[in-house]
Amino acid sequence: MQAISVQQPWAFAIARGGKAVYNQRQPASYRGPLLVYAAMRVDLKACDSPLIQEAGWDPRDPLAAIGAIIATAELTEVCSAAVQGGTCDCGPWADPGAYHWRLADVLPLPRPIVTLGRPDVWEPKPALVTEVRAMLAASAALNHSP
């Protein structure tokens, strides 16, 4: 499993608002599960973005935390058309000139897990992955109990 560090409010938009594209300067050969880490830096200009506002940005929401894992996602493919000067259908969240890492099956965590992250893409410690999986399993069990 890998983790991606994303500035707020973009991390919130992935976790809560349907942002299914992570814009990156580099391609990725990896496909599979990702932890979404809300980085310690905040893109203050983005907080007023119409896309962020449509995503329901609320700095009081627990998923607006910084320095924490806030969601999981599946990296399903990487679109390189915009980097190669072409066009793509990655939607309004896709930046021109970036690789578009397409995310699916996003699951926001019931509460953020505060931890130390790293810039860009990194490998989380096994204990952190175990904690995330246990939290999601407990949440799923609560949601399916009579």
Q: What is the model's pLDDT at position 145?
A: 57
Q: What is the mean pLDDT of residues 4-12?
A: 97
- Count the neighbouring beta carbons within 10 Å of the beta carbon of residue 129: 17
- Mind listing the pLDDT tens digit for each residue in 26-52? 999 999 999 999 999 999 999 999 999
Q: What is the pTM of this model?
A: 0.93
Average pLDDT score, the chain:
93
Would the pLDDT of 132 be above 70? yes
Q: What is the model's pLDDT at position 19?
A: 96
Q: What is the model's pLDDT at position 143?
A: 75
Q: What is the model's pLDDT at position 84?
A: 83
Question: DSSP letters of 13-63?
Answer: HHHHS---EEEESS-----EEEEEEEEEEE-GGGGG-HHHHHTT--TTSGG
Cis peptide before 9 (omega within 30 of 0): yes
| pLDDT over 70, % of the chain | 98
